[in-house]
Structure formats: C-alpha cells, structure tokens
C-alpha cells in the first residue's frame, strides 16, 4: 500500500497543532471538537494553548512525563462489577484527561457499567513539525506525508507501553478478549500497530481518524494469524490532517490481509475531530464487543 498518493498543502506549525488539537473548530464552523464532551454534544476548546504557543512559551507542554516514561493513566473505574476494559490513546498534544470524561459518558449512556476506562497520557517530546515544541506525543511527526521519516523507535516504544497497560488489565483478572484498545489520530495509529504486532486475542479495536504507521513493514511485521476480532475504523471525509484516503487505504490493507471482521465508517463534513454520530457508532460497537455477563446469557 502506497500512502504517498495523498497530498497536503503546507500549513504552519501553529495551524497544524490547532488542527490536531481541535482548536480549529472555532475557525471553521463545520469542524467539531475531537474530545467528546458527551455522546450527543461537543466540547468548547480553550484558546489558552494557542496563546501559549504564540507567546513562544514551549515550557507549557513540558508538564509531566519524559520521552522514556509515561504519566499515570487516567482511570474511570467500572460502576458495577469490572468485567471488561477500554484502553484509549489520545492524539497529539492532548492528554488522557481529554478523552476520559467524554468516553465515560459514551460508555455509561450505553449501559456498559461493567467497563473500566483507561486513558494514558503520552510522553512529552519535541515535535519536529511543530517547530520542536514539547508536547504529549506517542511519536514524532516530521511531515504530513505518512510515508516518510516515520519515528519507528517511538512507535514501537509506545506500542510496548500499550502492551504493558493490557498486561496490567490481565493481571487484574480481565482476559485480553474482554479488552478493547483504541485511540484518536496518533493514538489510533499506535492501537492499530499494536493489534497487528501482538499475538493477543483482543476484544476489539476502535480506531478514529487514523492510519497504520510503518505500513511498509507489513506483512513482515505481522504477528500470528489473521485477526477475527472486530475492528471499527472511523474517519471524517473532510479531514485536513489525516486525509481520508489514508484511512481508506489502511482499511483496505487491514481487510485484505489481516482482519476478517473490519468495519470502516466515514462521516460527511467531519474534519480531524469527533462528532455525535461517530460517538454513537463507537458506543454501539462497544455494546457489541464488550457485552455484560447478563446480556451474554
């Protein structure tokens, strides 16, 4: 699969960060925020981070963890008996807090009181495309071409961090087939990469506005047999950061070579963000793949 077919116009580092973080919602009414404040509503994003960037204060993103460690994940405990887990990774410049409350409402509104939510925060590293500003990132980004200069070392390291979180859930008594991994943008990329390079029978994968990183390493990097657990991949058709054709080509590769149970959904007018229909589809997916013990009987 050649991802070079997608071409992007050049944008400033500040503009790129605004797109990735969802602040661009305020500049174009058709965009919605990437953080789901609720299943059916959108979160208003503060301009504080933009003002910080414009003032040149790189230290604002230097809070927390270094490139060799990860801050303590945000945990939303199950409201009932804990029998399943969702581990969800945020996008560039965000934190685990950015998704935790929204995902909690999505999960609880779907009646999934047995599901624990784990939202880790990425290590804080310099991001090349953002003029070296330090911010939470699962790996460095040097350009909007996802074929070139991919940060293989940090991608594999972040995958190890995700695997460690899965291990922790298993140690607490949750089998891997009751664990869904997922993420938005960079976070979704790590989730997809981990799913293909780890021989675990997961409960499923939820991948939003994302792509498969290091795609040229496949099928060589693929571990195990063809995956039969469900994968839901969602993408906006107006995404200016991760062009939807990257999502489509990733979907095609997964369906043809690696995943027997893959669904790709696209959302008209949606940019690099989330929207209520996508959150509804995500909730329906989780209900299907992580049912309660009572609903399985």
d(CA 199, CA 227): 9
**Angle between helix 152-171 and helix 186-197 axes, rounded to 10 deg:** 70
d(CA 179, CA 193): 16
- Give the angle subtended at the CA of 129 by the CAs of 34 and 27, to the nearest 5°: 40
Residues serving a catalytic function are 185, 239, 272
- Give the angle subtended at the CA of 212 by the CAs of 170 and 95, to the nearest 5°: 60
d(CA 192, CA 204): 10
How many C-beta atoms surround the C-beta of residue 218 within 10 A?
17
CA nearest to 87, candidates 263, 290, 255 = 290
């Amino acid at each position: 699969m050649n991802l070079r077919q997608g071409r992007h116009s050049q944008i400033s580092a500040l503009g790129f960060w605004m797109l990735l973080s969802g602040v661009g919602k305020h500049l174009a009414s058709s965009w919605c925020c990437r953080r789901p404040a609720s299943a059916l509503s959108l979160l208003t994003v503060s301009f504080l981070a933009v003002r910080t960037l414009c003032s040149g204060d790189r230290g604002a993103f230097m809070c927390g963890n270094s490139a060799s460690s990860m801050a303590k994940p945000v945990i939303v405990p199950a409201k009932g008996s804990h029998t399943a887990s969702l581990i969800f990774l945020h996008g560039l410049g965000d934190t685990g807090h950015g998704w935790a409350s929204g995902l909690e409402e999505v999960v609880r509104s779907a009646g999934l009181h047995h599901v624990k939510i784990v939202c880790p925060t990425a290590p804080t590293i310099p991001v090349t495309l953002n003029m070296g500003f330090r911010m939470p990132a699962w790996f460095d980004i040097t350009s909007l071409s996802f074929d070139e200069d991919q940060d293989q070392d940090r991608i594999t390291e972040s995958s190890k961090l995700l695997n460690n979180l899965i291990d922790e859930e298993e140690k607490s008594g949750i089998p891997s087939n009751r664990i869904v991994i997922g993420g938005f943008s960079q976070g979704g990329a790590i989730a997809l990469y981990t799913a293909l390079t780890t021989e675990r029978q997961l409960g499923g994968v939820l991948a939003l506005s994302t792509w498969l990183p290091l795609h040229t390493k496949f099928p060589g990097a693929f571990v195990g047999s063809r995956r039969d657990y469900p994968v839901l991949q969602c993408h906006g058709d107006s995404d200016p950061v991760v062009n939807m054709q990257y999502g489509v080509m990733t979907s095609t590769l997964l369906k043809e070579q690696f995943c027997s149970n893959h669904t790709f959904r696209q959302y008209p007018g949606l940019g690099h963000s989330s929207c209520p229909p996508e959150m509804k589809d995500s909730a329906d997916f989780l209900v299907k793949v992580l049912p309660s013990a009572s609903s399985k009987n």
